[in-house]
Amino acid sequence: MGLNRREFLKIAGVSVMGLGAPTMALNALFKNQLNASQISPNPKALHAKRWAMVVDLKKMNKEIVEKCIKACHSIHNVPHIPDKKREIKWIWETHFEHAFPEQAHEHMDEVLEHIPVPVFCNNCENPPCVQVCPTKATFQREDGIVMMDMHRCIGCRFCMAACPYGSRSFNWQDPRPFIVKENPEYPTRTKGVVEKCEFCAERLEKGLMPACVEASEGAMIFGDLADPESEVRKILRSRYSIQRKPGLGTRPAVYYLI
């Protein structure tokens, strides 16, 4: 026949591709495709152009913060991991100098210095975490909420490096043994993915307010920034508010009233 090895390999390669390509094309064309017009959002869902949270530090105290944390972590199956290095927290309590390191100084108002400040994902308008995610596993919705797609996350933790607020947690191990009481209506996560607060998107779509807002006895307010008559806009108009690390240009959706 006179075929040498190189020619044989070339023919073999082309044949494999020739057989493979039409098979794949046929598969793709004749797959049962679901019709996208069969879907719609829940009619009870709350809609907004830009969700925002306002935390009134004047009304904050230790009990309220603990109630908020408990509400959030229990309905979202957030595990309680005693090892501080591996802990997972969506919302937690800190002090003014840690939440606002650029605002704190040596002679602060004593009340403000010791108020428990709840911190959580700011769901920024210009989120660096979304910018760096290589798979769009974390992405920004039209209403401003920065979401996590747990199915797509590869666990590279680039988003954790990018977040200027330390809002994100990684599952260094299987979280299920550490969940105090499972909420059967919400999934858990598995080892190897990143998680964070998502402004209770799953409650918003049922017409409910975020869990922490409900538990906060009025110390936290949630609403649509784009609606000038919303509670959040009204209170921001009348009180002095600050944000975390405003100079970085992330434009957080969380405001703190002092």
Partner 1 sequence: MYDGGKILTGLIIGIALFTLPFWFNLGKAAKIPEPKLTPKAEKAKFCVETKEYMQAEHMHLLDQWRDWVVRDGNRIYVGLHDKKYDMSLQNTCMDCHSNKKKFCDECHNYADVTPYCWECHIEPKEEEEK
Partner 2 sequence: MFEKAFHGGRKYWTVVAILAAIAGVGAIFYLWQLKVGLKITGMSRDVSWGFYIAQFTYLVGVAAGGVMIALPCYLHNYKKFARIVVLGEFMAIAAIIMCLLFIIVDLGKPMRLFNVVLHPTPNSILFWDMIVLNVYLFLNVVVGWAALEAERFHMEPAKWVKVLAVFSVVWAPCIHIVTAFLYSGLPGRHFWLTAIMAPRFLASAFAAGPSFIVLLALIIRKYSKFDPGREAIQTLAKIITYCIIINFCFFLFEVFTTFYSQIPGHMNHFKYLFVGLEGHGKLVPWMWVSMIGMFVVCILLVIPSIRRNEGSLAFCCVLLIITTWIDKGLGLVTGGFVPNPLEEITEYWPTVPEALITLGVWATGFLVVTILYKIAVSVNEEIEA
List of residues contacting partner 1 (CB under 8 A): 31-32, 34, 36, 38-43, 45, 77, 139, 141, 147, 149-151, 174, 182, 184-190, 201, 205
Q: Does 233 bind partner 2 (CB under 8 A)?
A: no
CB of 72 closer than 8 Å to CB of 197: yes
- Bridge partners, residue 256, by sequence: 55, 242
Q: Which is nearer to partner 2, 138 or 216 (CB)?
A: 138
Tokens (6 digits) for 62: 């230790």
User: How far is residue 66's CA from residue 61's CA, in Å, rounded to a whole number?
Assistant: 9
Q: Which is nearer to partner 2, 193 or 257 (CB)?
A: 193
The site string for partner 2 over 138-177 (x = CB under 8 A, - otherwise) reads --------------xxxxxxx-xxxxxxx--xxxxxx---
Q: Which is nearer to partner 1, 150 or 248 (CB)?
A: 150
CB of 153 closer than 8 Å to CB of 132: no
Interaction partner, residue 58 (partner 1, partner 2, none; CB < 5-8 Å by kind): none
User: How far is residue 39's CA from residue 32's CA, in Å, rounded to a whole number?
Assistant: 16
Best CA proximity match to 236, nearest among 50, 49, 54, 48: 54
Neighbours of 123 (CB within 10 A): 27
Interaction partner, residue 138 (partner 2, partner 1, none; CB < 5-8 Å by kind): none
Interaction partner, residue 40 (partner 2, partner 1, none; CB < 5-8 Å by kind): partner 1
Q: Does 249 bind partner 2 (CB under 8 A)?
A: yes
